[in-house]
A and B are shown apart, each in its own frame.
Chain A
Amino acid sequence: MNEALATTLVGIFGITGSLLLLGSALAMFRVRDALSRINVFSPATGLGMPFIVIAAFIYDLYASGFSWSSLIMAVIAVLCLIIVSSVASNTLARSAVLSGQPVFRKTSPNRLAAPPEGVVDIDPDAKDS
């Protein structure tokens, strides 16, 4: 792989990935509550960081030649980023709801505010008075 091709590919993938991270940071200003911010963060980890990994892999290909270990390392890194960020976002959203973070008041319909149909929502330990 000659230098011009490597530089072009690293530039395309690296700058696109960086712009996706920047776009996620800007999108956090356009939404109002914590749940929406966790939601608009997923382009950064789902598409931006894999692009950075691809840029690093192309640089490694250019600098030290092809080897199976670096290919496996890049594939595992992309898979880990996607799976790990998904599980982390789930956990963070769940704890944001459980700890009572405010939800934007124009969220409609908000099915979490009311119990599902047919569920009796009465505390059995409450004293009846």
Chain B
Amino acid sequence: MRVIHGISYVGFIVWAIITGSATIISRLFRSDYAQPMIVELPMRCATDLEVTLFASSITITPGTLVTAIAAGTSTTPPVIFVHALFEESEESALDGLIDMESRLLSMTRGRAPGPHADPQGGRP
């Protein structure tokens, strides 16, 4: 089961690289090129391996980039700060990241993780 999740995750990353590169190249001659934003996501990843894999997956996808990772404490989860270029709003950027994180945790833990506690980080 874990192997199937791993293969589907690798395919997902390859497809994300191809579509993201096509986005960057095809928007090159439009007048409104990009809308940069830095969003904040409390992670469900717990171990060092999961955090490292998640940060590398975000960075290798064209259009998103990890700028900083804040370490978690005993009560708060670790927080990741992502620089996104081609998203319409903060909600759509966070939805893409949560989808990728769910696929990653299905691969490392062998089962689907629980729903995200508070995707907005307590913000209105």
Contacts and interface: CB of A to CB of B under 8 A. Distances in A.
> Are any A and B Cβ atoms less than 8 Å apart in their complex?
yes
Interface of A: 20, 23-24, 26-27, 30-31, 33, 35-36, 38-40, 42-43, 46-47, 82-83, 85-87, 89-90, 93-94, 97, 103-104, 106-112, 116-118
A47 to B, nearest CB: 5
Q: Which secondary structure dominates where chain B touches chain A?
A: mixed
A23 B85 CA distance: 16
A42 B59 contact: yes
Q: Which secondary structure dominates where chain A touches chain B?
A: helix
Nearest to A30: B33
B98 interface: no
Give me the 6 closest cross-chain CB pairs, A-B, nearest first.
A43-B21, A111-B40, A30-B33, A86-B60, A86-B56, A39-B65
Contact of B38 (A90, A112, A117): A112
Interface of B: 17-18, 20-21, 24-25, 28, 33-40, 55-57, 59-68, 70, 76, 79, 81, 83, 85, 90, 121-123
Nearest to B17: A46
A112 B81 contact: yes
A35 to B, nearest CB: 5
